[in-house]
Structure formats: C-alpha cells, structure tokens
C-alpha cells in the first residue's frame, strides 16, 4: 500500500493533497498512521505499533485502522498496488 508522497500533514492534523487541492482533518492517531504509511510501514506493523501504544483490543484497532484506510481510499490518497 502506497500513500501519495507529496501529501502534507500538519502537526494539528490538517492533511493537504497538493495534487488536487483537497484537504481534510484527522486526529493524532490518523496523523501517526499517515506518517507510518509515508515510511512504507506495512499494515500489520502499523496495527502492532498501535496495539503497543494504546490500551485497546486488537479487533478494535484493526477495525479502526481499516476504516481509516477506506477513508484514505475515498480521498484517493493511497493505492493498494502501486506508488504515486
């Protein structure tokens, strides 16, 4: 899974796609996921990192992670098969 490489992520959670001018806001965990994706961290590793950092069950972390990934897909910020 690859994320758009020129994606701008502010410390307060504003995410800007310079390719099309779209922007949206995310929380601290969303920022963390986006930064890990920018480092080409795979999904399983991201889920394990989140499980170790936050006091939450694996099923909840996985569901929230994949919900966020689906949101990124809707915004056309990631691609499952190729890099941007």
Question: Which range in 12-16, 18-22, 38-42, 62-66 is most confidently predicted, on average pLDDT?
Answer: 62-66
And the tokens for 49?
A: 């990192």
DSSP string, 8-30: EE-TTSEEE-TTT--EEE--HHH
Higher pLDDT, 79 or 17: 17
Which strands sit side by side in the sheet containing 23-25, from one edge to the other? 8-9, 14-16, 23-25
């Amino acid at each position: 899974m690859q994320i758009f490489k020129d994606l701008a992520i502010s410390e307060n959670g504003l995410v800007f796609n310079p390719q099309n001018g779209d922007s949206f806001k995310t929380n601290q965990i969303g920022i963390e996921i986006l930064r890990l994706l920018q480092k080409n961290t795979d999904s399983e590793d991201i889920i394990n990192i989140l499980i170790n950092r936050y006091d939450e069950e694996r099923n909840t972390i996985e569901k929230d992670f994949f919900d966020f990934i689906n949101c990124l897909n809707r915004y056309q910020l990631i691609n499952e098969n190729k890099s941007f």
